[in-house]
Amino acid sequence: MRRNPAEIAKMRRAGAVVAEMHEATRKAAQPGVTTAQLDRVAREVLDRRAARSNFLHYRGYPAVICTSPNDMIVHGIPGSYVLKEGDILSIDCGAIIEGYHGDAAFTMAIGEVSAQAKRLIEVTEQSLWAGIAQLRDGRHLHEVGRAVQQVAEAAGFSVVREYVGHAIGTAMHEEPQVPNYWPGKPGPVIKTGHVFAVEPMVNVGGPQTRTLEDGWSVVTADGSLSAHFEHTIAVTEDGPVVLTVP
Ligand code: MF3
Ligand code: CO
């Protein structure tokens, strides 16, 4: 669906709230802090900005953010997990302003982490930017996944297949999907006014996933570390514009 400039301006406001949730949770994420505390910090930002949560109650989801440590890929429910030095933690945040959605995620180090963990975080963020650079009018959507996959695999890592990015607007998840790999065909043509959430999930080991008994938490099947970066991006005449920034 193509969004007009007024709609994109609202998504930009939602994106700014998401960016503020990132800043607040990043600052709060220290050894000894629980992931439930991070959810509270994120709720305070939503309240302060009079924004609604798109995560809370989504298919029964019980929190406003997802917190996924170490081998957890996505959709970790904030709770009693206590962060410790050496962890990596993925934090996924979303917000709604005047009916328009923002969605973005990042992975951070808790204190000092292994060289491999650091590299995983760097490469996953790089893969996101390589994907974003493909979001130009006239290109094919699956070029995004091709670019993401190339960066991740060149570093010796693998890209998750079962979870993908998505168009976003008046719902968090709109069609079409945005795979983080080349699915064998070019996909739809990208047009000015399209808005996508691009969100590579990159594993140190294999791409296979497993869902825990809580029905949400997705972990790597082989127990290897995983990172996740996401932005909401509008396609404009001047190229991609990231909306989930301060
Ligand atoms: N941000 C996630 C995505 O991009 C959605 C989180 S699932 C929820 O799809 F249940 F937490 F909302
Ligand atoms: Co998303």
Calculate helix-pair angle for 115-132, 142-154, nearest 10 degrees.
Answer: 160
Look at residue 146 in the predicted model and tell me its pLDDT.
98
Of the pLDDT bands very low, low, confident and very high (cuts 50, 70, 90), residue 210 is very high
Distance 65 CA to ligand 1 centre (A): 8
Look at residue 83 in the predicted model and tell me its pLDDT.
98
Q: 98-146 pLDDT, tens per residue?
A: 999 999 999 999 999 999 999 999 999 999 999 999 999 999 999 999 9
Give me the residues paired with residue 189 across strands. Answer: 140
Q: 125-138 pLDDT, tens per residue?
A: 999 999 999 999 99
- In the numeric block, which tokens belong to residue 18? 């998401």
Look at residue 230 in the predicted model and tell me its pLDDT.
98
Residue 92 CB less than 6 A away from ligand 1: yes
Residue 7 CB less than 6 A away from ligand 1: no
- Residue range 170-174: average pLDDT? 98
Residue 199 CB less than 6 A away from ligand 1: yes
Residue 39 CB less than 6 A away from ligand 1: no
Nearest-atom number in ligand 1 for the CA of 59 is 10
Give me the residues paired with residue 203 across strands. Answer: 158, 226
The C-alpha atoms of residue 3 and residue 98 are separated, in whole angstroms, by 14
Distance 165 CA to ligand 2 centre (A): 6
Nearest-atom number in ligand 1 for the CA of 94 is 1
Residue 165 CB less than 6 A away from ligand 1: no
Of the pLDDT bands very low, low, confident and very high (cuts 50, 70, 90), residue 13 is very high
- In the numeric block, which tokens belong to residue 154? 């060149």
* CA 113 to each of CA 85, 108, 185, 245: distance values in angstroms, whole numbers, following the listed order: 7, 10, 38, 26
Nearest-atom number in ligand 1 for the CA of 103 is 1
Residue 20 CB less than 6 A away from ligand 1: no
Q: 40-49 pLDDT, tens per residue?
A: 999 999 999 9
- Residue range 149-155: average pLDDT? 98
Look at residue 31 in the predicted model and tell me its pLDDT.
98
Terminal-to-terminal C-alpha distance of the chain? 25
Q: Which of 78, 74, 62 lies closest to 209, judged by CA?
A: 74
Eight-class DSSP state of 89: E
The amino acid that residue 112 corresponds to is E
- Residue range 70-93: average pLDDT? 98
Nearest-atom number in ligand 1 for the CA of 55 is 12
Look at residue 52 in the predicted model and tell me its pLDDT.
98
Does the domain formed by 5-242 have CATH 3.90.230.10? yes
Look at residue 110 in the predicted model and tell me its pLDDT.
98
Look at residue 70 in the predicted model and tell me its pLDDT.
98
pTM: 0.98
Residue 94 CB less than 6 A away from ligand 1: yes
Residue 228 has φ and ψ, to the nearest 5°, of -145, 125
Look at residue 34 in the predicted model and tell me its pLDDT.
98
Of the pLDDT bands very low, low, confident and very high (cuts 50, 70, 90), residue 238 is very high
Proximal ligand: closest to the CA of 217: 1
* CA 162 to each of CA 37, 46, 200: distance values in angstroms, whole numbers, following the listed order: 29, 29, 11
The C-alpha atoms of residue 203 and residue 149 are separated, in whole angstroms, by 11
